[in-house]
Structure 1
Amino acid sequence: MENQGFWEKYKKLIKDVVLDYQYLVMLDEADIKIEAEREDASLPSERSQAITNLKIAAGLMVGEHYGWWFQDTDVYKWIETAAYTLENFDDEALKTRVDSVIDIIEQAQDEDGYLSTYYQLRAPHLKYKELDRSHELYNAGHLIEAAVAYAKATGNETLLEVSKRYVNHIMAHFGVGKIEGADGHQEIELALIKLYKYTNDEKYLNLSRYFIDVRGKDPLFYNKQKEALGQDPFTNLDYLQAYDQPIHQKEAKGHAVRMLYMMEAMADLALHQNDQAMEDAVMTLWDDIVKRKMYVTGGVGQTVHGESFADGY
């Protein structure tokens, strides 16, 4: 890829400054005070511990998990960014650093393929049992995206094999007659299509389609999971875009990031499966966003309440 023009200085900034700094943040070695997003003593905002969590899961350190359900994805997003950087620049030191992190991730993975340190270290008995909030498949999605990007950039498929093992674990637990629901936070849907395009294995495309189609099929799915755990069953289905199946949804509402991830997967499925109904559905949502809910700068999901779409204008 040619390095010139408007983006050149930003690409170099990421290579020379940002990736190093983010790595130190994940190691809790950066000179930074992390501010909580709001006054709430329960927020795990004092440090990152993202890499340490993986080391503990790998048996390389002793300790307890710290952070959110999705803490692992900071590492995966960093690897994905490094992969795009390595497509533009030769940087053996960066590659060596990423390879060392991938080695930790590989060791952190359970023998059966499962990989989500929050549940591995805190609550293994709750794996896949609180999907409205668990982010387990969201984590898997960012793992897949990082793995595909790094394999394309470097030819190193170690992380790709880790992601495939996790997907195999997911396929063993989700589907008709198994867990008939989707993660509360969309992401794996679009990632599986990237994995399909890289491997040409249609099982990944089909699994993406399953997660799109099963979302909202049983609006009580998350309530039932909560009731089984003795929890308050209320679930904000608008927030999760799970009030109806995506192909029947007519307006963009709820958490904006989740909606846009879902729409990306829907668009890809429409293309790769030649599905006109899916294309029509995603274009209906697109029109609602562009014509009624987009800010003048192109931003969406402007409200502080739930990172959600505001009412249309």
Structure 2
Amino acid sequence: MQEIRKRGVLDNFMRVYGKSDAEFQGFYFAESDLYKWIEAASWILQVQELPEIEKMIEETIDIIQPAQGDDGYLNTYFQKQRARKRWTDLDRIHELYCAGHLFQAAVAHHRSTGSDRLLNIARKYADYICDMFGSGKKEAHPGHPEVEMGLIELYRETGVRRYLDTAGFFIDHVEGKEMREILGHAVRALYFCSGMTDYYIETGNQAYLDALESLWKNMIEKKMYVTGAVG
């Protein structure tokens, strides 16, 4: 958390609602590191009582919450000066990626503490995304997968079907169940396969498992280093 604070990630949230006059700091996906920290810290609370960690998480949620827009949107890179550019560069800028990490952090926090503070923030944003994307709406997909896993975790935690359906839309938009060769950016490919695995687990649709087994075979036989690494 000390490093996250030093890199200005918390200031990025506070500048949205006027508590910091700093310029946006870091990469456009900077806030995803904060969400990853919350997720990791929350899982630790399942096995060990650490009041100081729980307090830090709560204080962090206090900083995040006021930055959320009335419509549910939450991405500090695009809020303020770049507000008109949201959803205009999904291939390169990690809007949906950051959202996915928020969703996973919120689920971990809820499971570990029972608090719905971060979960409510995540659900409001997820509802907005579900309203925005889908057949007959904005028909696009994230350039960097992650939101698929996050939406499915929210579905598991809340039972809200539209979260699962929207994850399926993103997977189907790139014809995930037709894939047989794993290609491109290694991190993105593995995030995508993880999301499609979650989707198969929840739907039981054999076509997704067939694709995943082909991708796995292609990866371990033709794309993997002797160390077990890819990319």
Pick the TM interval, shorter chain: over 0.9
- Deviation per CA, 1:2-54, whole angstroms, max 9, x where unpaired? xxxxxxxxxxxxxxxxxxxxx111121xxxxxxxxxxxxxxxxxxx2111101
Task: Identify the residue that residue 189 of structure 1 maps to in structure 2.
Answer: 148
Instruction: State yes or no: 1:153 paired with 2:112.
Output: yes
Kindly provide the amino acid, as one letter, of the partner of residue 290 in structure 1. Answer: I
**Helix, strand or coil at the partner of 2:60:** helix
Output the aligned Cα RMSD: 1.1
- Quote how far apart the aligned CAs of 1:58 are: 3.1
Instruction: State yes or no: 1:86 paired with 2:45.
Output: yes
What is the aligned length?
231
Q: Which one of 27, 30, 34 corresponds to residue 5 of structure 2?
A: 27
- Deviation per CA, 1:66-123, whole angstroms, max 9, x where unpaired? 2222111011001011011111210111101110001111111111110000000341
Q: Which one of 34, 50, 61 corresponds to residue 75 of structure 1?
A: 34
CA contact (8 A) 2:171 2:196 kept: yes
Instruction: State yes or no: 1:273 paired with 2:223.
Output: no
TM-score (norm 1): 0.72
- Supply the distance in 2 between the matched residues of 1:286 and 1:121 (Cα, whole angstroms): 42
User: For the pair shown, which has the larger CA radius of gyration, 1 or 2?
Assistant: 1
CA contact (8 A) 2:133 2:166 kept: no
Kindly provide the amino acid, as one letter, of the partner of residue 191 in structure 2. Answer: Y
Q: Which one of 91, 115, 130 corresponds to residue 171 of structure 1?
A: 130
Task: Identify the residue that residue 115 of structure 1 maps to in structure 2.
Answer: 74
**Helix, strand or coil at the partner of 1:210:** helix
**Helix, strand or coil at the partner of 1:118:** coil
CA contact (8 A) 1:73 1:139 kept: yes
Kindly provide the amino acid, as one letter, of the partner of residue 15 in structure 2. Answer: I
Question: Sequence identity of aligned pairs in percent?
Answer: 39
Ranges in structure 2 where 5+ consecutive residues have no aligned partner: none
TM-score (norm 2): 0.96
Higher relative contact order (CA 8 A, sep 6+): 2
- Quote how far apart the aligned CAs of 1:256 are: 1.0
- Deviation per CA, 1:170-196, whole angstroms, max 9, x where unpaired? 112111222101111000001111111
**Helix, strand or coil at the partner of 1:61:** coil
Instruction: State yes or no: 1:295 paired with 2:202.
Output: no
- Supply the distance in 2 between the matched residues of 1:205 and 1:147 (Cα, whole angstroms): 16
- Quote how far apart the aligned CAs of 1:291 are: 1.5
- Supply the distance in 1 between the matched residues of 2:188 and 2:21 (Cα, whole angstroms): 34
Ranges in structure 1 where 5+ consecutive residues have no aligned partner: 1-22, 29-47, 216-244, 302-313
Runs of 4+ in 1 over 4 A off after TM superposition: none
